Structure 1
Amino acid sequence: MSGPAIVIPARYASTRYPGKPLAELRGADGVAKSLVRRSWEAAMAVDGIASVHVATDDDRIADHVRDFGGEVIMTPAECRNGTERCAAALDAFDDEPEIVVNLQGDAPLTPAWFVEELVAALRQRSDVDMATPVLRADHDHWTALVEDRRAGRVGGTTAVFDATGRALYFSKEVIPFLAPDAASAMTQLPVFHHVGVYAYRPDTLRAYGQWPVGPLESQEGLEQLRFLEQGRAVLCVETDARGRTFWELNNPEDIEKIEAALHAP
């Protein structure tokens, strides 16, 4: 068994943003690089990782990744989400990784320590099948999440978990519910924003692709709920943003926000 591997799932046929992995982002040095290349560079900055691969079903993405020196695993077009694509990529490893990390291809601002903390947590906790990071929301963040939901927008996913960190639920609603008066009186809110990075044990990841999509995953549109619906233990690892800005590239207008973060000191 080899050390931890990062797999970056990337697909061309996005409903909201076709060709998104090849969209270019200009950094502080003025150099434009594709989204998938910046995600690959973020993965390469993580300490203790044995390998980094981009998993895709599209030759345009594959050729581009190989051109800048990245490793590619070709996966079926039928993969419905990033976790299924990571599961399909497992078959390509000659030496099975100890842990597989799903670093989503539209999140190039993900700090290295998020991944490092997930790997460390999974090694320490033999009672869980996978791990994912959460950030405690401050009052401004909580207010923004609530206002997004009132306006009919999905502003982010939140998570609730037990005293040991094991996830109870993930939702695009803001959970737990807090009355405004109660929230304003709290110095620390019990609301956690979920960050879509996952570290899996290989056997758990392999099983994922064989499970049916359950009603909760279908209704919420959250791939991680399939683990909970199957009774698997998901560890929420509270991490610290350390002042870093996060933004995923979901729509063309997000390019400006990510570039602003890349230009920040």
Structure 2
Amino acid sequence: MSVLIAIPARYASSRYPGKPLAMLSGADGTPKSLIQRSWEAAKSVNGVDQVVVATDDTRIRDEVQEFGGEVVMTSSECANGTERCAEAHVNLGGGFDIIVNLQGDAPLTPSWFVEDLVADLKSDTSADVATPVLRCDGEALNGFLDDRAHGRVGGTTAVFDASRYGLYFSKEVIPFTPDRYGDGEATPVFHHVGVYAYRPTALEQYVTWGCGPLESLEGLEQLRFLENGRRILCTEVDAKGRKFWELNNPEDVPRIESMMQAMGMC
């Protein structure tokens, strides 16, 4: 089955304008843009036929071309990354069996997260979409709770049923946990990793539905699938000791740089 990774990137983020061009320094002190680091993460995934950055912004296009990446220009009317991936697939002529949305704010995404995700979708023919979830340890959960306590929108959490189909995704910390946990202690909260694998028919339908109330309130594109009765398979992934965090706010830059330096990522 042919696999496309599309990295949707827009300049006009409400929380962090120009985020794809934010510079991040790794273990050797070399600064690279967020979009370049996301591209490098995508290129490390096995079993992928093509990787593209999907954008509507010439500044991002120029940056990608400067480091040798491939760009597909998309409309400024795309409401979110899923719509942008759908348009990118069409603009490439279609034909891919699985389209992966590797969001451009998650440069620490390990290659096996995507590989496990694609394998899960291939094996479950009843699922329209798959997305990874990572069990939080106490350190990650406390980071989420700290963000919310200070009025920041941090990572997204997910709850799912016994068959691993998503019940809900939220920028609030769900489920509620009355207890606090030690840094290395496993918790019942799952961090939703901002990657999706779609079947082409799911993308085709998605763009026809329009934004529903839950998607609008939470600002989470995957809720459009749930609001329209489509199933999202949650693939539990193993970080294998790797730290993972998304770049949601300017305050996340030093946090991610610290993680890269600790892991020796250049």
TM-score using structure 1 length: 0.91
Match of 1:82 in 2: 81
2:229 pairs with one of 231, 244, 262: 231
Match of 1:39 in 2: 38
What displacement does 1:28 show?
2.0
What displacement does 1:98 show?
1.1
Structure 1 residues 110 and 170: alpha-carbon distance in aligned structure 2, compared to 1, 3 A threshold: same
In structure 2, how many angstroms separate the alpha carbons of the residues matched to 1:247 and 1:159?
Answer: 15
Structure 1 residues 13 and 151: alpha-carbon distance in aligned structure 2, compared to 1, 3 A threshold: closer
Contact 1:73–1:92 (CA under 8 A) maintained in structure 2 = yes
Structure 1 residues 28 and 151: alpha-carbon distance in aligned structure 2, compared to 1, 3 A threshold: closer
Contact 1:25–1:35 (CA under 8 A) maintained in structure 2 = yes
What displacement does 1:30 show?
2.9
Contact 2:155–2:246 (CA under 8 A) maintained in structure 1 = no
Q: Is 1:222 the counterpart of 2:225 in the alignment?
A: no
Structure 1 residues 151 and 12: alpha-carbon distance in aligned structure 2, compared to 1, 3 A threshold: closer
Contact 1:167–1:235 (CA under 8 A) maintained in structure 2 = yes
In terms of mean alpha carbon deviation, does 69-78 or 9-18 score higher?
A: 9-18
Give the secondary structure class of the aligned counterpart of 2:158. strand
Match of 1:194 in 2: 192
Match of 2:250 in 1: 252
Superposed counterparts of 1:161-180, under 5 Å: 161-180=160-179
Contact 2:7–2:39 (CA under 8 A) maintained in structure 1 = yes
Match of 1:58 in 2: 57
Superposed counterparts of 1:34-183, under 5 Å: 34-180=33-179
- Structure 1 gap segments, 5+ residues each: none
Give deviations 1:39-96, integer Å, cap 9, x for gaps: 1011000000000000000112112212221111100001111111111111122351
Name the amino acid aligned to 2:191. H
In structure 2, how many angstroms separate the alpha carbons of the residues matched to 1:149 and 1:253?
Answer: 14
1:240 pairs with one of 211, 216, 238: 238
In structure 2, how many angstroms separate the alpha carbons of the residues matched to 1:134 and 1:94?
Answer: 31
In structure 2, how many angstroms separate the alpha carbons of the residues matched to 1:252 and 1:169?
Answer: 27
In structure 2, how many angstroms separate the alpha carbons of the residues matched to 1:7 and 1:178?
Answer: 35
Name the amino acid aligned to 1:100. I
Q: CA RMSD in A?
A: 2.0
**Number of aligned pairs?**
261
In terms of mean alpha carbon deviation, does 218-227 or 130-139 score higher?
A: 130-139
In terms of mean alpha carbon deviation, does 91-100 or 111-120 score higher?
A: 91-100
Runs of 4+ residues over 4 Å off in structure 1: none
In structure 2, how many angstroms separate the alpha carbons of the residues matched to 1:248 and 1:188?
Answer: 20
Give the secondary structure class of the aligned counterpart of 1:8. strand
Give deviations 1:8-60, integer Å, cap 9, x for gaps: 00111122322221222222233222111111011000000000000000112
- Structure 2 gap segments, 5+ residues each: none
Name the amino acid aligned to 2:112. W
Give deviations 1:216-240, integer Å, cap 9, x for gaps: 1111111110000010010001111
Structure 1 residues 64 and 254: alpha-carbon distance in aligned structure 2, compared to 1, 3 A threshold: same
Name the amino acid aligned to 1:103. L
What displacement does 1:147 show?
4.6
Name the amino acid aligned to 1:224. Q
Contact 2:212–2:224 (CA under 8 A) maintained in structure 1 = yes
